[in-house]
Amino acid sequence: MSGFVSFVGSGPGDPELLTLKAVDRLSHADAVLYDDLSSGPILEFAQKDADLVSVGKRAGRASPRQDHVSKLLVDYAKQGGRIVRLKSGDGGIFGRLEEELVALHAEGIAFEIIPGVPSACAAAAEAGIPLTRRMTARRLQFITGHDVAGRLPEDLNLPALADAQATTVVYMGRRTFADLAEMLLAAGLPDDTPALVATGVTTPDQSLDRSTVAKLMSTFRAEEPSRAPTLIFYGALADG
């Protein structure tokens, strides 16, 4: 009989942001397949004899292919027992959750999804800002800064993204934001639109840097590519 898989959102990195249900599943798991950003102190909640398997992906680093991760998850589940697939942030937000669900569905393997604190929400809290505000930021949008090939997606909705009265959060966009910013300014976004760069949120390496979209475009054009996990906010609330 196949085992049971718990997809557990680990939040942005601070183990104190784990939910009680996440800690329970980790403490009873026979195997934990974890992302890079879900490692470290978070894994201390796992059983001492649990198999701990790194399957994480990081920009600019050699990473396991998604089909290999999905197959490994299925293989562990077929051995029986309780399996945790530990994903950073919330697995349903740019976490490649769907591919792994499809693989489990195809094999008839039961699962549950336990949400985690989204990285964008944690970053906003660390910066002391809300994500919405009456009259000036009634809409919140999350986008990914790269496609499957690591490039800026070609099907962006620029009118929506150039709306200065929305709060926009760009995941995985440090390498491509300069190109995106150039397109946004051409589409009418004011160049002094406030921006916030959040790196290593809730970890000892956290940094929160305030800027504007135009200044950020210039900064990212000039810098060496960074592998640090980064979120970029811009719009009505990025200035606090």
Catalytic residue among 14, 35, 90, 163: 35
Residues 161/167/170/174 CA torsion (nearest 10 deg): 100
Please identify which residue in the block is written with the tokens 């809730």: 202
Assess whether 35 carries a catalytic annotation.
yes
Residue by residue, DSSP assigns 153-208 as PS---HHHHT-TTEEEEEES-TTTHHHHHHHHHHTT--TT-EEEEEESTTSTT-EE
Residues 98/88/152/73 CA torsion (nearest 10 deg): -40
Catalytic residue among 21, 51, 57, 239: 57
Please identify which residue in the block is written with the tokens 């986008």: 143
C-alpha distances out from residue 210 to 146, 192, 197, Å: 22, 12, 6
Q: Which residues pair with 85 in a beta bridge?
A: 7, 33
By three-state DSSP, how is residue 212 classified? strand
Give dist(CA 35, CA 53) in Å, integer. Answer: 9
Assess whether 57 carries a catalytic annotation.
yes
Catalytic sites, residue numbers: 35, 57
